[in-house]
Amino acid sequence: MKYILLNEEKILLKNNFLYLKNKYFCNIKIPKLIILYYKNKNLTIKSKYFDKKIENSFFKIINNLLIGIKNFWQIEIFVSGIGYKIYLENNKIFLNLGFSKPKFFQIPTFIKIDLKKEKIILKSVFKDKLGSFSFKILKSKKFDPYKKKGLYLEKKFLLKI
């Protein structure tokens, strides 16, 4: 059994969905193995079969959502290389990375993108979905530490092997 104290957040439990709102808004589907109670600004997470793994993982997901609705989760992807271009069009991000055709990705509705000259800034309420989308973008062109070309995260260390 896990407890979460909710101070400023507004919460609604309806039809196996949990709706959270503070500065931003999000919703999440409650699994069938989880029971949620809300009373006196206290959210209780309980498993039907007393399985702690499910309780802990759902607890972590809700904690990440509570942080995300206060201020967005943010990932910065840096682009380095001559002739590499990034642009947005019709809810798609196009990456011109030196291949014959530009690669493009459909932007999910829950992710906001800001483009700077050599930077892609991804923002979202959902930490896990943001990480998986940023990994898709990073996979399109691996960073080469010798030529110093490609896509990379600022905080990630790259080893020359």
Domain 73-153 in CATH: superfamily? Ribosomal protein L6 (3.90.930.12)
Rounded mean pLDDT, 17-34: 91
Angstrom distance (rounded) from CA 89 to CA 24: 25
Angstrom distance (rounded) from CA 65 to CA 59: 10
pLDDT digits (tens, 9 = 90+) for 136-149: 999 999 888 888 89
pLDDT digits (tens, 9 = 90+) for 100-118: 899 999 999 999 999 998 9
pLDDT higher than threshold 80 for residue 160 = no
Please report which confidence band the pLDDT of residue 157 belongs to, taking 50, 70 and 90 as the band edges: low
Q: Which CATH architecture has domain 2-70?
A: Alpha-Beta Complex (3.90)
Please report which confidence band the pLDDT of residue 127 belongs to, taking 50, 70 and 90 as the band edges: very high
**Sheet bearing 92-96, strands edge to edge:** 85-89, 92-96, 103-106
pTM assigned to the model: 0.86
Q: What is the mean pLDDT of the chain?
A: 90
2-70 and 73-153: same fold? Answer: yes
What is the domain partition of the chain in residue ranges? Answer: 2-70, 73-153
pLDDT digits (tens, 9 = 90+) for 88-104: 999 999 999 888 899 99
Type of residue found at 81: G
